Amino acid sequence: MIKEFFISLLHYFVDITTAVLIAAAFYLTISGQTPHKTLLWEILLSGFITALPTAVLLCFDSKSVKKSVVLWIMHFLAIFLITLLLLKMFGWCSITPLSVLLTFAAVVFIYFFTCFVHYLVDRKHATVMNQQLKKRYISDAIKDKNTAE
């Protein structure tokens, strides 16, 4: 369980940090601002801080769809509030209605980016596992056939 938690944390950290870098690049390009030398460290720290609740969420293996939806909504709101706190803490922008709206849009982008990346990775793993299972069942069937003869 602990090993899976750290693997999930690492995966989400990489995915979230990549998405935050993309969002920051767009924002800096549009705004024309020059990034401060500490920006990359702040992005890495914010990626780690927001990856923590994401990895913790995976520990709750809810069989109920309703509970899963509630957990994901709580998770999204927590990530959004953490992001607003980090914006203020790092001085990336002042908190105004427009910055809150833009932050919400950025969090939605990062959320969908992360989900899409995990979907692609999980789909690839499922394909590989299915191929390996087919090979195993085919070889077992051949062994059973040879044993029966």
Q: What is the DSSP string of the chain?
A: -HHHHHHHHHHHHHHHHHHHHHHHHHHHHHHTPPPPTTHHHHHHHHHHHHHHHHHHHTT-----HHHHHHHHHHHHHHHHHHHHHHHHHHTSS---HHHHHHHHHHHHHHHHHHHHHHHHHHHHHHHHHHHHHHHHHHHHHHHHHHHH-
pTM of the model: 0.71
Residues 72-130: tens digit of each pLDDT? 888 889 889 998 999 889 888 888 999 899 889 988 888 888 788 878 888 888 888 88
Residues 9-37: tens digit of each pLDDT? 898 899 889 888 888 888 889 888 888 88
Residues 50-85: tens digit of each pLDDT? 899 888 876 666 678 888 888 888 888 988 999 899
Q: What is the mean pLDDT of the chain?
A: 85
